[in-house]
Every structure is written in C-alpha cells, then in structure tokens.
Amino acid sequence: MEGVKAKVINHRYNGYSTTDLILNDKIEAVIKDKPDIQWIMATFSKQLPDSLIIIQTANPTIYLRRIE
C-alpha cells in the first residue's frame, strides 16, 4: 500500500505461542523494545481512519502449560 511504512521486529521465536514466550523467559527481548501500543493504534486511526485493525498473537494458546 502506497504511503504505509511498517517496521517488523522478529526476535527469532517463530513457532512460539504467547504462553511459551512468557514461560520460557523469551518475552524480555520484546519488552526491551518498549512497544507503544497506544501510539501504534493512534497512528493507524489517524492515517487509516476507515481501517479495521486486528491485533492477535501468532499462535494463540488458551491454557498455560507447566514447565517441569
């Protein structure tokens, strides 16, 4: 789409669920990037006002697994 710029940061955790990231202490790298969800949403709303924005996890997990 012309005029839309995006920056994708991948910490090489492909295949991890959100739960796996948290339970395996992989979430720290994401937190260190200090993502600003409010700024992201405000920017989308301003620049793409008629867009529907869906934020989802790549591999949603509805339960927590215990690490033994």
Asked whether residue 41 is domain-assigned, the answer is yes
Q: Is the pLDDT of residue 59 over 60?
A: no
* H or E stretch covering 27: helix 27-32
Asked whether residue 43 is domain-assigned, the answer is yes
Asked whether residue 47 is domain-assigned, the answer is yes
Nearest Cα neighbor of 57 from 13, 1, 24, 25 is 13
Asked whether residue 63 is domain-assigned, the answer is no
* Better-predicted residue by pLDDT, 23 or 18: 23
Asked whether residue 62 is domain-assigned, the answer is no
Mean pLDDT value across residues 21-48: 83
Asked whether residue 5 is domain-assigned, the answer is yes
Q: Is the pLDDT of residue 32 over 80?
A: yes
Mean pLDDT value across residues 3-19: 72
Containing structural domain, residue 5: 1-56
HSE at residue 47, side-chain half, CA atoms within 13 A, is 12
What domain count does the chain have? 1
